[in-house]
């Protein structure tokens, strides 16, 4: 009996971690892994990013044009944005509650703080500068950034995904408003393009188990300071506990609102979650997320094609939760006292920053700087505080990306349920797709 895709990916991840630990234990030359194994994972991520923009263009145009009614699109769009904002507020609140209960910042020794500050000070300074550049811009700069002046330029960079979405939505709405006979050839073209891109996803997924092996093996081998990771264990556990609580919230929504089994949901979305963990990129995972949500969770394309691309750019529940935990952790470790109003400031700032930072490189850490500056944390304290969490940021980034992707899928199901666009999943499964590709 052939092993299901999610088990293949999980096996590849475990094998990668075991290989990496064994490699480090015997003190082999890490350059071999960097030169000959890591490129497999890099190629896989590049392939997923390669088809992200074509998938958004084809799928979103097909989804909106299939609605045949602009009022339906406005209904889906409005509910999507409101639900994304609500889940972000919930994520930040969960993070604050858990970090205040555990108090991980009280457990960092001064010697560890000094070591971290020295090692990561330059990285922290760079993030602070990026945040300052972001804050110098006008209050409507986020909206301005959404409107491209050249669609080909916007489509050439995955960081400009919101610009592409803006153009595609404008194009699809215009397609709805012209004579259906004239629109038919254009719609047929994008329907065909959508099928082609989805087949490309099938082909790329053939290398997923091998790619996640390469990504995890190289991550373990390249970890320079395992002792620092141990020193920050309490902080990491606090973030992970918060993220796990957010997963429980999603599962409760699936059970009590969508009326589906939480275990069924996890089983069908797990390949996207595992890839999110391996790649640390919601955008790179987007093609797989869309495939799972449409074919395995039963969300109609006119919903998923809008909700998921928008979610990959503005919905960062895991990242927002992490910022709440990190902000309290840093202020605790550095004895910077916060009152109740400061914690309300964290909720508001983290929520707004998560929506308005999609086009910012290194968004998570830059968003954290904005949150800390809203609390009037001094510049020198900021530098030390960011240095404090850099050592463990990579593995936590992997975990919070899983939450981001899971949140996108949950919201897609909620919106689909609310507008009666949730159907029984297609009986064919991903493994049948892969068999056909083989």
**DSSP code at position 225:** -
Based on its alpha-carbon atoms, the radius of gyration of the chain, rounded to whole angstroms, reads 22
Q: Within a 10 A sphere around the Cβ of 375, how many other Cβ atoms?
A: 18
pLDDT at 410: 97
End-to-end Cα separation, the chain, in angstroms = 16
How many structural domains does the chain have? Answer: 1
Mean pLDDT by groups of 10 residues along the chain of 438 residues: 75 89 86 90 86 83 73 83 92 93 75 59 55 59 80 82 84 86 90 86 86 86 58 82 96 96 94 89 87 92 87 84 88 78 84 57 64 75 71 79 94 94 68 51
**What does the alpha-carbon distance between residue 146 and residue 166 come to, in Å, rounded to a whole number?**
7
d(CA 206, CA 151): 32
Q: Given this model, what pLDDT does residue 402 score?
A: 93
Domain carrying residue 375: 5-437
Kindly give, in sequence order, each residue whose CB lies less than 8 Å from that of residue 25, ignoring residues fewer than 6 positions away: none
Give residue 289's pLDDT. 93
How many other β-carbons are positioned within 10 Å of the β-carbon of residue 255? Answer: 15
Best CA proximity match to 73, nearest among 176, 146, 167: 176
| CATH number for 315 | 1.10.3860.10
State residue 124's pLDDT score: 52
Query: Measured between alpha carbons, how far is 68 from 80 in angstroms, rounded to an integer?
Result: 19
Residue (of 264, 244, 258, 198) closest to 411 by Cα position? 258
SS3 157: coil
pLDDT in tens, 218-243: 878 876 555 555 556 788 899 999 99
pLDDT at 296: 92
Long-range Cβ contacts of 375-383 (<8 Å, 24+ apart):
375/327, 375/331, 375/336, 375/338, 375/342, 375/345, 375/346, 377/330, 377/331, 377/336, 379/128, 381/334, 381/336, 382/124, 382/128, 383/117, 383/121, 383/124, 383/125, 383/128
Predicted local distance difference test score (pLDDT) of residue 358: 46
């Amino acid at each position: 009996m052939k092993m299901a895709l999610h088990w293949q990916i999980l096996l590849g991840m475990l094998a990668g971690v075991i290989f990496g630990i064994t490699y480090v234990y015997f003190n082999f030359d890490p350059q071999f892994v960097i030169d000959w194994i890591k490129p497999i994972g890099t190629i896989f991520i590049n392939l997923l990013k390669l088809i992200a923009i074509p998938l958004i263009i084809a799928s979103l145009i097909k989804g909106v044009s299939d609605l045949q009614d602009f009022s339906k699109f406005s209904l889906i769009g409005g509910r999507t944005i409101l639900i994304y904002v609500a889940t972000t507020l919930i994520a930040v609140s969960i993070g604050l509650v858990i970090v205040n209960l555990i108090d991980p910042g009280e457990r960092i020794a001064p010697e560890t703080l000094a070591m971290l500050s020295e090692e990561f000070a330059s990285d922290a300074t760079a993030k602070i500068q990026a945040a300052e550049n972001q804050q110098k811009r006008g209050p409507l700069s986020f909206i301005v950034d959404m409107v491209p002046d050249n669609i080909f330029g916007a489509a050439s960079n995955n960081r400009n995904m919101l610009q592409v979405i803006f153009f595609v939505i404008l194009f699809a709405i215009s397609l709805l408003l012209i004579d259906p006979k004239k629109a038919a050839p254009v719609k047929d073209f994008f329907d065909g393009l959508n099928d082609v891109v989805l087949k490309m996803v099938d082909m790329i997924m053939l290398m997923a188990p091998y790619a996640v092996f390469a990504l995890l093996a190289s991550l373990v081998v390249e970890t320079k300071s395992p002792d620092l990771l141990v020193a920050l264990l309490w902080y990491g556990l606090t973030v992970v506990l918060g993220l796990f609580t957010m997963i429980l919230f999603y599962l409760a929504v699936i059970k009590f609102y969508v009326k589906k089994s939480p275990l069924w949901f996890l089983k069908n979305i797990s390949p996207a979650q595992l890839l999110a963990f391996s790649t640390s990129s919601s955008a790179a995972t987007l093609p797989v997320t869309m495939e799972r949500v449409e074919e395995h969770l039963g969300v109609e394309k006119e919903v998923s094609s809008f909700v998921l691309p928008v979610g990959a750019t503005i919905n960062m529940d895991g990242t927002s939760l992490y910022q709440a935990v990190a902000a309290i952790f840093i202020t605790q470790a550095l004895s910077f006292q916060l009152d109740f109003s400061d914690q309300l400031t964290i909720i508001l700032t983290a929520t707004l920053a998560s929506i308005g930072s999609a086009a910012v490189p290194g968004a998570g850490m830059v968003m954290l700087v904005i949150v800390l500056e809203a609390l009037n944390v001094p510049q020198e304290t900021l530098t030390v505080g960011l240095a404090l969490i850099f050592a463990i940021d990579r593995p936590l980034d992997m975990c919070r990306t899983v939450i981001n992707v899971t949140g996108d899928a949950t919201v897609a199901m909620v919106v689909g349920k609310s507008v009666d666009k949730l159907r029984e999943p297609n009986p064919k499964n991903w493994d049948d797709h892969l068999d056909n590709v083989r």
